[in-house]
Amino acid sequence: METAIETHALVKRYGDVTAVDGLSLHVARGEIYAFLGLNGAGKTTTVRLLLGMVRPTSGEVTVLGKQIRFGLDKPWDRVGYLVETADAYPELTVRENLEAVRRLRPGVESAAVDRAIERLGLGAYANRRSGTLSLGNSQRLGLAKALLHRPDLLLLDEPANGLDPAGIVEIRNLLIELSRQEGVTVFLCSHILAEVARLAQRIGILHQGRLLQELGLEDLERNRRRRLVVRARDADAALVALRGGGWSPVLAAGGEIEIRDAAAIERPDDVAAGLVQAGCPPTMLMVEEEDLEQYFLRLVGQAGGGA
Amino acid sequence: MTNLAQAVYVEMLKARRSRVSLFTALGILILPLAAGFFMIILKDPELARRVGLISTKAHLVAGSADWPSYLGLLTQSIAGGGLVLFGLVVIWVFGREFSDRTAKDLLALPTPRSAVVLSKFVVTAMWCAALTAVLCLFGLAVGVAIGFPPASHQAILEGFLAIVAAALMVIALVTPMGFFASAGRGYLAPMGTTFLILLLAQVIAAAGWGEYFPWSIPGVFSQGQPLGAASYAILLLTSLAGLAATLRWWERADQAR
């Protein structure tokens, strides 16, 4: 598959601080790739490196087949981006801000401004000065600027920032539509892990400038921890019964019994039957699956610090 | 293709919508008003005392209330005040991108960064030229209203040409403010630098080295002293250095904020 973004052993240091440490990324064309990390993990620095805004200390960046280096031809006519916060000229209206971007992107037809306004639901605010917009509408304007020229690659830093729940769903659907129908590659950084889990096809977990793990949704499915949680009126008797049945139960906080055996998680009905036969029927039986947030925090915690 | 014309259009749009353009226009009007005020006092000090324009204890600087003196005063005021006002224009045009956090949106576009920087200098030069035109027109109106003794058209024309020449020198000398505003990422650092430069210009001119310190040169010129080739070379080099430093900074400096 063609590569939209490729970095090789990318390092960025500011004095003694290493913001990005040996990052090697491969993002395929048409993919939605999410970058997860705590504050200061190096997400925004990575986006700025991809956009040629900061120069790498070492390593290489290639975007849409073009190496990002001073003096070389850049692919910016095919890239839309939103870095950190969505900012605009406060004294210009929404339409004027978009018109300014359009003029700085040669070849973009004037109808693109109306199209972006409509697509991002900014019609009611088109003639309003951007300095008076709410945070959510400022974010919509930032996304409209990024989408104005129908880019092949979108680099979005916290695209859901400031949006209300309906807005988050709307933008998520828009990004999925762009990816599936128009083949747009989306590279996004986010703190909203539930949102990332719904949107991204692949996830990169960044911690202290290093890529801890890259995983697809099926990898997440495979790697995340699952457990069977059991409650019974007599926990001690239930523990004895479960051990007798060949499982490995552990008494967890709050009197809950936790079983991590794959067989128990796959067939909780066998566990229930065993407990009933032992005379201590369960009052609760629940298979719990680690979600992306828990998985992320566990991974970052293992890597040391932060969470 | 550098897309410079479109970049200039965008910068013009931002300048037009800004209140700073109005403030600078009001600021330039102060110069003829202040010069006119001195001329009225010079014309008739007793009258000025009676109507309370000046204190009865005031000692007036020697001078005459006529077109050449008035236009000479305007030339001096643009050589000094122009540095602040035109410097402010450049500082605003560059510094606002950092205080409004919009600079990042100019860095990864098909329009090269050099075109963005050049468009800013083009617009600031046009803006300052327009302010100079306002100064000349309003200065003429104030002069006519004061009613100076008749002077030859030649003398009046030469007076206005001197104003324009001093303004052009100042326009050339404010390019380094673009670099200070960019490297300082805002308004405060370049404003401080501008006032420091203005102070240095006064001190160096008073020490008699004004023709060799770039920002003293318009002041020396406004006093009617002829400038040597070295002064013009210093002016040109300072202007080009400001332009080159700003271009290089936008092209090469890490834009991490």
Chain A residues in contact with B9 (beta carbon < 8 A): 103
**What number is the average pLDDT over the span A108-132?**
96
Q: For residue B57, name the pLDDT band (cuts at 50, 70, 90).
A: low
- Looking at residue B67, what is its pLDDT? 92
Handedness of CA A113, A114, A115, A118 (dihedral sign): positive
B110 touches chain A (CB under 8 A): yes
pLDDT digits 0-9 by tens, A267-290: 999 999 999 999 999 999 998 887
Model confidence at B55: pLDDT above 70:
no
Q: How far is B208 from chain A (nearest CA, A)?
A: 44
Query: Using the beta-carbon criterion (under 8 Å), do A105 and B107 form an inter-chain contact?
Result: no
Q: How far is A210 from chain B (nearest CA, A)?
A: 19
- Looking at residue A257, what is its pLDDT? 93
- Looking at residue A301, what is its pLDDT? 79
- Looking at residue B1, what is its pLDDT? 52
pLDDT digits 0-9 by tens, A28-49: 999 999 998 888 889 999 999 9
Instruction: Give me the amino acid identity at A162.
Output: G
Query: Using the beta-carbon criterion (under 8 Å), do A83 and B19 form an inter-chain contact?
Result: no
Query: Using the beta-carbon criterion (under 8 Å), do B10 and A104 form an inter-chain contact?
Result: yes
Model confidence at A4: pLDDT above 90:
yes
**Kind and range of the H or E run holding A19:** strand A17-28
Query: Using the beta-carbon criterion (under 8 Å), do A145 and B107 form an inter-chain contact?
Result: no
- Looking at residue B61, what is its pLDDT? 58
**What number is the average pLDDT over the span B170-197?**
95
Q: Which chain A residue lies closest to B18 (C-alpha atoms)?
A: A91
B247 touches chain A (CB under 8 A): no
What secondary structure does DSSP assign to B141-206, as a single string?
A: HHHHHHTPPP--HHHHHHHHHHHHHHHHHHHHHTHHHHHHHHHTTSSHHHHHHHHHHHHHHHHHHH
Task: Please give the model's pTM, rounded to 2 decimal places.
Answer: 0.88
- Looking at residue A38, what is its pLDDT? 84
CA dihedral A42, A44, A49, A55 (to 10 degrees): -70
Query: Using the beta-carbon criterion (under 8 Å), do A89 and B17 form an inter-chain contact?
Result: yes
- Looking at residue A299, what is its pLDDT? 81
Nearest to A51 among B6, B18, B108 (CB): B108
**Kind and range of the H or E run holding A212:** strand A210-216
For chain A, domains (ranges, CATH) are 3-221 (3.40.50.300), 226-289 (3.30.70.100)
Query: Using the beta-carbon criterion (under 8 Å), do B6 and A106 form an inter-chain contact?
Result: yes
Residues of B (41-100) whose Cβ lies below 8 Å from A: 100
Model confidence at A83: pLDDT above 90:
yes
Query: Using the beta-carbon criterion (under 8 Å), do A104 and B109 form an inter-chain contact?
Result: yes
Q: For residue B136, name the pLDDT band (cuts at 50, 70, 90).
A: very high
B255 touches chain A (CB under 8 A): yes
B248 touches chain A (CB under 8 A): no
What secondary structure does DSSP assign to A139-195, as a single string?
A: HHHHHHHHHTT--SEEEEESTTTT--HHHHHHHHHHHHHHHHHH--EEEEEES-HHH
pLDDT digits 0-9 by tens, A139-149: 999 999 999 99
pLDDT digits 0-9 by tens, B1-29: 589 999 999 999 999 999 999 999 999 99
- Looking at residue A226, what is its pLDDT? 85
**What number is the average pLDDT over the span A206-220?**
87
Mean per-residue pLDDT of chain B: 92
Share of chain A above pLDDT 70, in %: 98
Query: Using the beta-carbon criterion (under 8 Å), do B107 and A53 form an inter-chain contact?
Result: yes
pLDDT digits 0-9 by tens, B88-119: 999 999 999 999 999 999 999 999 999 999 99
Query: Using the beta-carbon criterion (under 8 Å), do A103 and B10 form an inter-chain contact?
Result: yes
| B37 or B173, greater pLDDT | B173
Share of chain B above pLDDT 90, in %: 79
Residue B103 contacts residue B97 (beta carbons within 8 Å): yes
- Looking at residue A218, what is its pLDDT? 80
Q: Which residues of A touch B (CB under 8 A)?
A: 14, 45, 48, 51-55, 70, 74, 76-77, 79, 81, 83-85, 87-92, 96, 99-101, 103-107, 145
Query: Using the beta-carbon criterion (under 8 Å), do A70 and B19 form an inter-chain contact?
Result: no
Model confidence at A7: pLDDT above 80:
yes
Q: For residue B38, name the pLDDT band (cuts at 50, 70, 90).
A: confident
- Looking at residue A306, what is its pLDDT? 47
B21 touches chain A (CB under 8 A): no
- Looking at residue A100, what is its pLDDT? 97
Longest dimension (CA), chain A: 78
- Looking at residue B56, what is its pLDDT? 60
Question: CA-CA distance, B115 to A13, in Å (whole number)?
Answer: 29
**What number is the average pLDDT over the span B63-68?**
84
Q: For residue B247, name the pLDDT band (cuts at 50, 70, 90).
A: very high
Handedness of CA A19, A24, A29, A33 (dihedral sign): negative
Q: How far is A179 from chain B (nearest CA, A)?
A: 22
Look at A189-203, B152-166, B211-225 and tell me which has the smallest mean pLDDT: A189-203
Close Cβ partners of B76 (under 8 Å, ≥ 6 residues apart) = B219, B222, B223
Q: For residue A307, name the pLDDT band (cuts at 50, 70, 90).
A: very low
Share of chain A above pLDDT 90, in %: 67
